[in-house]
Chain A
Amino acid sequence: DGGITQSPKYLFRKEGQNVTLSCEQNLNHDAMYWYRQDPGQGLRLIYYSQIVNDFQKGDIAEGYSVSREKKESFPLTVTSAQKNPTAFYLCASSIIGGSAKNIQYFGAGTRLSVL
């Protein structure tokens, strides 16, 4: 089955700790994205990548870092600089252009909480 796999489903972070959220896709999509979802707010873009070894900051990149060493993988690190990391994190992927009209497909999400 093709899809986007995020792990873990739940994650707890201690003060001063960096944590990494995993996102893997086997859809052969070029572009991948990380969003943050808070109650009462829309999805906000953290980082996105259109090609391997390249990525761009979204609207709320401060305190986060990413890498794109493989087409299938786009891990997100929440660093200790992110002072309010508690949120639901969603990874998405899409084809660029073509008939798929840039539809973004989402993983099941990781819920991050601070201890």
Chain B
Amino acid sequence: GQNIDQPTEMTATEGAIVQINCTYQTSGFNGLFWYQQHAGEAPTFLSYNVLDGLEEKGRFSSFLSRSKGYSYLLLKELQMKDSASYLCAAYTGFQKLVFGTGTRLLVSP
């Protein structure tokens, strides 16, 4: 079966750090994607982890542990514009992604 779990909603304050967790159980795994989606808009690519470890890209970092079936997205120096849904997706091979339900992040002043 395919199962991706992430929290439904999180809140944080402008300037803070927030960590969004994602656990996965999939038949076949080749990497983990994170996308950002503002309400009513297209998802936009944030990061892709294939190997274990942390990848940093500006204010955003993503971590993967393949042995634990676990990933997180770390957002630093939060800004109001970071209020959005964050989608975790497992790449299972043959061009197929399995998406979680998304985590809605609300950043308050």
Binding site for B on A (CB under 8 A): 31, 33, 35, 40-45, 48, 50, 58, 88, 90, 94, 96, 101-109, 111
Contact = CB atoms under 8 A, between A and B. Distances in A.
Interface residues of B, number: 22
B25 to A, nearest CB: 14
B44 A104 contact: no
A91 to B, nearest CB: 9
Contact of A108 (B41, B50, B99): B41
A103 B41 contact: no
B43 A106 contact: yes
Contacts of B74: none
Contacts of A90: 42-43
Interface of B: 4, 31, 33, 40-45, 48, 50, 87, 89, 91, 95-102
Given A45-B96, A96-B95, A102-B95, A109 B41 contact: yes
Given A103-B33, A106-B44, A108-B42, A42 B4 contact: yes
Given A42-B101, A108-B42, A50 B4 contact: no
A40 B101 CA distance: 6
B101 A41 contact: yes
Contacts of B41: 108-109
A14 B44 CA distance: 32
B45 A105 contact: yes
Contacts of B33: 103-104
A41 B101 CA distance: 5
Given A42-B100, A103-B33, A31 B4 contact: no
Contact of B48 (A33, A88, A103, A107): A103
The 5 closest A-B pairs by CB, nearest first: A42-B99, A106-B42, A43-B99, A42-B101, A108-B42
B95 A103 contact: no
